[in-house]
Amino acid sequence: MDSALFTDDERERFTELAGKYEHDDSMDKVDAEIRAGAEIFATREAKKEAEKPAKKGPRFVRIGGAEITPIHWVVKNFLEAGALGMVFGDSGTYKSFLAVALSACIATGKDFYDMPVRRKGAVYYVAAEGQMGIIRRFRAWSQENRSILDAPLYRYEGAVNLSLAADMLVKALDKAIKAEEAPPVLAVIDTWSRSLGEDDSDTTAAAVGLGKLDEIRARFTDMAVLVIHHTGHANKDRARGASLLHAAVDSEYRLEVDKERNIIMTNTKSKESELLPPMAFRAKGVRLLNDMGGFILNEDGEIETSAILEVATDYKPPIDGIGLKQKWVIDTLRRQNNEKLEYEDLWLAFKNEYQDEYKKVQKGYLDQALDGLEGKGLIYREGEFVCLSR
């Protein structure tokens, strides 16, 4: 028997036991060694078992005095480490552009629209639709912000089916993570519908898909998962399909585009922190460059383009609790220099706006709207001018 398997104390004990058993006429020397070794191993395993901390079964413990675990952010106030997040919106609301910016910021350590990246690391982007478009968007971001050439930023090549073939994705993730020195911080699923592989309104299918995402988060500790999804067909205020997804996510953001082409991001859910105030972005076109600095051309010789999202610093959020005519007044004043307009000019614009709605547009309609706004402190009169309150 190989004595290297034992500690010094165990070898001494083994010799003692083997000698004792060797003088037993009922067994030969080999049996003695086997029994001696078995007893040593049994003693060792018993000691290990005794040293294990006692397993804690289901029980109630006092809340008072419990340790508070601070939130571990990936991006401060936006996404937590190990969390499940969702960005949803209608088609054309730039959901993927926001996800691209988030991914690139985490991989490079750049602030995400003034929100600090707390955990810089590897990002794994699953583009279940429009893979070539994703590459263009990352290049556009890189040109306008920070190079991603050496960043730990990866895209998945292959079909995705969380319902039937999630193991393929998990194996690819496992292989990529083992090969990368930077810690895994984020996986993006873009989009939920295409990645699920089943009808996203089917509660059972959604449960299976969410279960697979939970397995991924459990396997790769502290790696957050961000799901990109569409709005409902009838209700644009919620994500499409089974409500199970909304219930499962830790944070949720809705994107929508207003009449002025502002891209509005609204934080609709946050389990562990306060909701962020709405943010507004605008899309900025970017002409793509190749690695040599020249323009990338398509087969017709035209320059390839993409876009990035920039913060709309001059955006003014809509005011709740006002009527349509009052809203028209506010929006009209916001478009003016110094946000004020002579009453007569405002009246002419008002009459032109509502001439199709009424047979005869009366000043009383405008005055009623102004009186209501003035009563709310949203406007004030300054001589002949109607001014927007600051």
Q: Is 83 helix (H, G, I), strand (E, B) or coil?
A: coil
Name the stretches of the chain with pLDDT < 50.
none
What local confidence, expressed as pLDDT, does residue 21 receive?
58
Give the dihedral of Cα atoms 301, 302, 303, 306; nearest 10 deg: -130
The type of residue at 62 is R
Q: Are the C-beta atoms of residues 306 and 298 closer than 8 Å to each other?
A: no
What local confidence, expressed as pLDDT, does residue 48 receive?
66
Helix axis angle, 29-51 to 8-22, nearest 10°? 140
Q: Are the C-beta atoms of residues 268 and 253 closer than 8 Å to each other?
A: yes
Give the tokens for residue 247: 């219930």
d(CA 61, CA 67): 12
3-state SS, 248-312, equals HCCEEEEEEECCCCCEEEEEEEECCCCCCCCEEEEEEEEECECCCCCECECCCCCECEEEEEEEC
- Per DSSP, the residues of 333-385 read HHTSGGGEEEHHHHHHHHHHHHTTT-SS--HHHHHHHHHHHHHTTSEEEETTE
pLDDT in tens, 166-217: 999 999 999 999 999 999 999 999 989 999 988 888 889 889 999 999 999 9
Q: Is 246 helix (H, G, I), strand (E, B) or coil?
A: helix
d(CA 137, CA 97): 7
The sign of the torsion formed by the CA atoms of 271, 274, 280, 285 equals negative
Q: Is 157 helix (H, G, I), strand (E, B) or coil?
A: coil
Helix (H) and strand (E) counts for the chain? 11, 14
3-state class percentages of the chain: helix first, strand second, coil last, to nearest 5 = 40, 20, 40
What local confidence, expressed as pLDDT, does residue 318 receive?
79
Q: Is 112 helix (H, G, I), strand (E, B) or coil?
A: strand
What local confidence, expressed as pLDDT, does residue 263 receive?
97
Task: Provide the pairing of β-strand 224-230 with 184-190.
Answer: parallel
Residue 237: Cβ-neighbour burial (10 angstroms; 0-12, 13-18, 19+) = exposed
d(CA 15, CA 166): 54
Give the tokens for residue 85: 């997040």
What local confidence, expressed as pLDDT, does residue 23 receive?
55
pTM for the model stands at 0.74
Q: Are the C-beta atoms of residues 275 and 253 closer than 8 Å to each other?
A: no
Phi and psi at 381, nearest 5°, equal: -100, 140
**Average pLDDT across the chain, whole number:** 88
Residue-wise over 49-60: b if at least 16 C-beta within 10 A, else e? eeeeeeeeeeee
What local confidence, expressed as pLDDT, does residue 333 receive?
92
